[in-house]
Structure formats: structure tokens, C-alpha cells
Amino acid sequence: ENERAHLLTFLELKQPGIAFRAMVLLAQGVFFNAYFLAYLVSPSTCHRFVQYLEEEAVKTYTKAVQQVDDPEGGLDKWRQMPASPLSRKYWQLPDDAMFRDV
């Protein structure tokens, strides 16, 4: 659920076209089915895979926050951008929350 909220937040941010959205849906469908089959074969491998994904997510978000905070980081736009209504609702952020708070 949390990953889906992140995906929807960034889709709101980028506002991609219909082709990109279709590819995201296709990728989700393929991944879900492949993961389901892999889980039937080896649940422990799937749990390790999710652990790896979560570790990479922590690294990615940590780097993004550092770049937002650093004036030379290249993410100045994110520093000044308010959090989207979807983000504020999902993460129960105040009305004046900024994108960095997400």
C-alpha cells in the first residue's frame, strides 16, 4: 500500500501521458503475477527480494532528501513545492506540508 501511495504521488508530480501510465499498469500486472508464482516456489527468496527493495528505497529517499536540502543538489523545485492533497491525506500531513515532508 505504501509503495502504491509513493507511485501515485510521483505520478501526480510528473503528470505522464497515457502511454507511460499504460506501461506502469502493465509492469504492475506482470510483476504481481511473476511475484505470485515465485512466492509459490520459494517464499523465503521473495521475502529476501522485498528486503532488498526496501533497503534500496531507504537509500534512494535518503539521497533525495539530501539533494532537496542541498542548494547545489539539483532538486530546488522540490524544496519549494507543496505536498499534493493525496500525499497530505495518505500520510496525514498538515495543510502547509511541503513535498520534502512526503
Nearest to 27 by CA among 11, 47, 44: 11
pLDDT for 2 beyond 80: no
**8 sits in which H/E element:** helix 2-14
Q: What are 34-71's pLDDT values in tens digits?
A: 999 999 999 999 999 999 999 998 999 899 899 998 88
Total number of residues shown for the chain:
102
| pLDDT for residue 1 is more than 80 | no
Whole-structure pTM value? 0.72
